[in-house]
Structure 1
Amino acid sequence: MQRTRFFGWTVVGATFVLATCGWGVGFYGPPIFMHAVVQRTGWPVSWVSAAVTLHFLCGALVVANLPRLYRCFGIPIITVLGAALLAIGVLGWASARLPWQLFTAALFSGFGWAALGAAAVNAIIAPWFISARPAALGMAYNGASLGGLIFSPLWVWLIGAFGFVTAAWGVGLLLVAIVSSLATLVFSRTPEQLGQHVDGGGADTSTRRAASAAMSLPGNLLFMSRRFLTLATGMSLGLFAQIGLIAHLFSLLAPRLGEQWAGWAMGLATLCAIIGRTLVGWLLKPNTDRRLVAGMGYATQLGGSIVLMLAGDHLVLVWLGVVLFGSGIGNSTSLPPLIAQVEFTSEDARRAVPMIVAISQASYAFAPVMFGLLRESTGPPMNSSMLFFAVVALVQAVAMFCFMRGRKLKNR
């Protein structure tokens, strides 16, 4: 009897494409949109950067309510609607002539991006995998990193060659077409419809046992539990430091490396993120202490920040710092949902993951402007860069402490 191919890996491939498009437009796009809007309108950078912050805050609001939206309308409909709203929002960024129009566009783009982001990826993958979920999520989340590699230069070229409005129309229509196809052909399927089981029917039961052994936490008890609080705080602080550093890394490296090599350094950090996430995804065993792995990831990033702080003009140390920091970028997004998978019941995890993503997104929305103010207030560039990396390292250390603190706690 011929065995039917497990459809879960098709879902992973489709979600990889979704993450590539979602992050490429909704995450890596706004910094480039900000530059294009400032150039076209002459508005203060503070105004336009406030629209970027609004974009991410609106996304956090939607992410917190994704489970409810999925229950009411289903994953396919919400995903397509998210792509459409994101496309409309980007067109609004491109055509805004008044500040209120820009902020309205940020509402649309933020609401739409949320349905294509980290919580959405986890929700799509979760029904298909339990023990193999680390590898599946790692592969799917790598699409986010690829989105940065592809879309960041693509947006710059399209806007320069055809103008922002034309670029927004073209990318927006392509985004909606791709996501609609994925939703219809892939995301509309469930294991039950196809008569398949999670992990293809050959799952290691240890992960399932860990989740089933967790105590159910109905209502607000989940969000008041110390495991949830340490997980949400650790993820929020880690991403706050990470996004703040990524937003300013190019401008910090350019004086030392030159603009061209600084661009290559940003690409190297993204490549290290893909490698780090892939290795953890495939090597993580069901009984592995996932909080310990997360702590080790932040320790690596902490080391990178310290090396960058002390590197000065020693280029070898600069490149080493970039590699160390980049190695932990991917796992800071993919590991918290995997921790929730084994520390909470399946039902509680479906509520916990969108909430920790929403909290962290609301936090890192303010990171670029906060670190920008830090740089502006600390005098000469060398002094400001050393203090910048020192603050990043401090925040990373606190994030690592939160993850490690939760290792011995029991749910309450």
Structure 2
Amino acid sequence: MRVFPGWWQVLAAMLLQAASSASVFTAYSVIAVPLQLTFQPSQTLLMMGITVAALASGILGPPLGAAIDRFSMKLLMLAGTVLLGGGFVLLSLAGSMTQVILVYLGPLAVGCVVCGPLAGSALLARWFSRRRGLAMSLAASGGALGGLIVPPLLQYLIEAFEWRTALQIYGCGLFVLTAPLVLLLVVNQPADRGLHPDGEEPPPAPARPVTAVTGSSTLEFLRDRNFWLIALCLGLLLGGPMGLLSNLVPFVLERQLTAGQGALLLSIFSAANFAGKLTSGIVADRADHRLMLAVIMLVVGLGFFGFLQAGSFAFLALASVVLGAGQGATVPLWSMILARNYGAEKMGRSMGLMSFMIMPFTLVAPGLYGWAFDASGSYDPALMGAIALLGLALGLVFLIRPQAAASTA
């Protein structure tokens, strides 16, 4: 039985997300150790590498999203593999933390965007309609898969070789593995193979879009009320978990537990996050997206409440499962909402712009948790604030106009 080529696109998107996101973000704590020993920076300066990469990824979202919609996906992803592999080679040649930061700000950030979730979601939105949720959730799980493989691999290379040599080996290997993956598997759209989304017969003529966005300019998206409401809901939903995760080990220490138990909670969260992504995609193909978003907010709020009330490691582990599943379920649903409301042909632009709009929530949240602790000696005010903001977001969900039918995407 012949496999629908769209599933090869899912495999490519999943593996590219595993390579890009895990290499640039998840593995930074591994790379930070030799950087600190070599350059002796302050802790704040040391963390600037990952900070500027996140900031650049958000800022680059709108222009690169537009490029993804306009130009060949295969060529952009291939360029991304060059930037990722070359970025780690350049990192190995850095003579100061300033140069390290510039590498993360430039080639690594750009490579991560054009090989990561933004590009993968845009690609799969073209190849799938009826089974889009499943396809996107499988691809999104690549980030969790990479998080399990890349950090220990880099740690092994750094221990086996001097860190500069290790990064050169890793960068070259990254390119050698990902470039052929793009060349062999990625196809820009099903029409290039004489196919239609899901491998089915041509769909019926689409109904009128539910949004006011008929063009592709940034201004038209910004004029659409739905776009703002979706961005606010997702920003409030994603910011809280990001803030807690960034402060999880200090939070655990405040609860009179150990740093090792905090690391274990991170692993539990990641496993639940993986399960949440897979479940969300399967359900999103059949369910109302507004209702799903509301349910996820309730789940995340329950997770926050668990952290607020937890007095033992077992209770914190349970809260981590709940919070991780809720946060993981958000990512594929975000892609599905945009594809359903704005169409596959505008996926890059809509997701790139919305990533930029959500970025302030995820960047500010970790600092707000730290500020709350400095001001009160406890993380409880931050958790209560996160729950209150989720209540606000829950009210905004039902102001979003109902989405179009699946056939309109």
Q: TM-score, normalised by structure 1?
A: 0.87
Q: CA deviation at 1:209?
A: 4.7
In the alignment, is the contact (CA less than 8 A) between 1:295 and 1:400 conserved in 2? yes
The structure-2 alpha-carbon separation of the partners of 1:348 and 1:180, relative to structure 1 and needing over 3 Å to count, comes to closer
2:243 is matched with 244
The structure-2 alpha-carbon separation of the partners of 1:244 and 1:186, relative to structure 1 and needing over 3 Å to count, comes to same
Q: Give runs of aligned pairs for residues 172-191 of structure 1, distance below 5 A.
A: 172-188=171-187, 190-191=189-190
From 211, 214, 219, give the equivalent of 1:217.
Answer: 214
* Mapped partners of 1:298, 1:94: distance in 2: 42
Q: Give runs of aligned pairs for residues 337-376 of structure 1, distance below 5 A.
A: 337-361=335-359, 363-376=361-374
Q: CA deviation at 1:173?
A: 1.5
Tell me whether 1:389 sits opposite 2:383 in the alignment.
yes
* Mapped partners of 2:36, 2:208: distance in 1: 49
1:270 is matched with 270
Q: Give runs of aligned pairs for residues 151-166 of structure 1, distance below 5 A.
A: 151-166=150-165
The structure-2 alpha-carbon separation of the partners of 1:407 and 1:376, relative to structure 1 and needing over 3 Å to count, comes to same
Q: Match for 1:406: what amino acid?
A: I
The structure-2 alpha-carbon separation of the partners of 1:204 and 1:277, relative to structure 1 and needing over 3 Å to count, comes to farther
The structure-2 alpha-carbon separation of the partners of 1:375 and 1:184, relative to structure 1 and needing over 3 Å to count, comes to same
Deviations 1:180-200 (A, max 9, x none): 112111114531232221111
Mean Cα displacement is larger for which, 188-197 or 21-30? 188-197
In the alignment, is the contact (CA less than 8 A) between 1:63 and 1:115 conserved in 2? no
Q: CA deviation at 1:262?
A: 2.9
Q: CA deviation at 1:349?
A: 4.2
Cα RMSD (Å) of the superposition? Answer: 2.7
Mean Cα displacement is larger for which, 151-160 or 141-150? 151-160
Q: CA deviation at 1:248?
A: 1.9
In the alignment, is the contact (CA less than 8 A) between 1:245 and 1:392 conserved in 2? no
Structure 2: gaps spanning 5 or more residues: 405-409
Q: CA deviation at 1:69?
A: 2.3
Q: Match for 1:386: what amino acid?
A: D
* Mapped partners of 2:195, 2:96: distance in 1: 53
The structure-2 alpha-carbon separation of the partners of 1:268 and 1:140, relative to structure 1 and needing over 3 Å to count, comes to same
Q: CA deviation at 1:391?
A: 3.3
Q: CA deviation at 1:212?
A: 4.5
The structure-2 alpha-carbon separation of the partners of 1:395 and 1:40, relative to structure 1 and needing over 3 Å to count, comes to farther
SS at match of 2:214: coil
Number of aligned residue pairs: 400
In the alignment, is the contact (CA less than 8 A) between 1:214 and 1:345 conserved in 2? no
Q: Match for 1:357: what amino acid?
A: S
SS at match of 2:399: helix
* Mapped partners of 1:237, 1:203: distance in 2: 38
* Mapped partners of 1:375, 1:358: distance in 2: 28
Q: Match for 1:265: what amino acid?
A: L
2:53 is matched with 55
The structure-2 alpha-carbon separation of the partners of 1:85 and 1:369, relative to structure 1 and needing over 3 Å to count, comes to farther
2:407 is matched with none
Q: CA deviation at 1:323?
A: 1.0
Q: CA deviation at 1:238?
A: 2.3
2:306 is matched with 307
SS at match of 1:307: helix
* Mapped partners of 2:209, 2:401: distance in 1: 18
Tell me whether 1:403 sits opposite 2:400 in the alignment.
no
In the alignment, is the contact (CA less than 8 A) between 1:230 and 1:406 conserved in 2? yes
In the alignment, is the contact (CA less than 8 A) between 1:149 and 1:267 conserved in 2? no
In the alignment, is the contact (CA less than 8 A) between 2:88 and 2:167 conserved in 1? yes
In the alignment, is the contact (CA less than 8 A) between 2:238 and 2:362 conserved in 1? yes
SS at match of 2:376: coil
SS at match of 1:115: helix
SS at match of 1:5: coil
The structure-2 alpha-carbon separation of the partners of 1:256 and 1:201, relative to structure 1 and needing over 3 Å to count, comes to farther
Tell me whether 1:282 sits opposite 2:276 in the alignment.
no
1:22 is matched with 20
Tell me whether 1:258 sits opposite 2:258 in the alignment.
yes
In the alignment, is the contact (CA less than 8 A) between 1:67 and 1:351 conserved in 2? yes
Deviations 1:87-110 (A, max 9, x none): 333344454332421221122222
Tell me whether 1:124 sits opposite 2:104 in the alignment.
no
Q: CA deviation at 1:131?
A: 1.4
Structure 1: gaps spanning 5 or more residues: none
* Mapped partners of 1:211, 1:392: distance in 2: 37
* Mapped partners of 1:296, 1:40: distance in 2: 47
The structure-2 alpha-carbon separation of the partners of 1:44 and 1:290, relative to structure 1 and needing over 3 Å to count, comes to same
Q: Match for 1:18: what amino acid?
A: L
* Mapped partners of 2:13, 2:403: distance in 1: 33
Q: Match for 2:20: what amino acid?
A: G
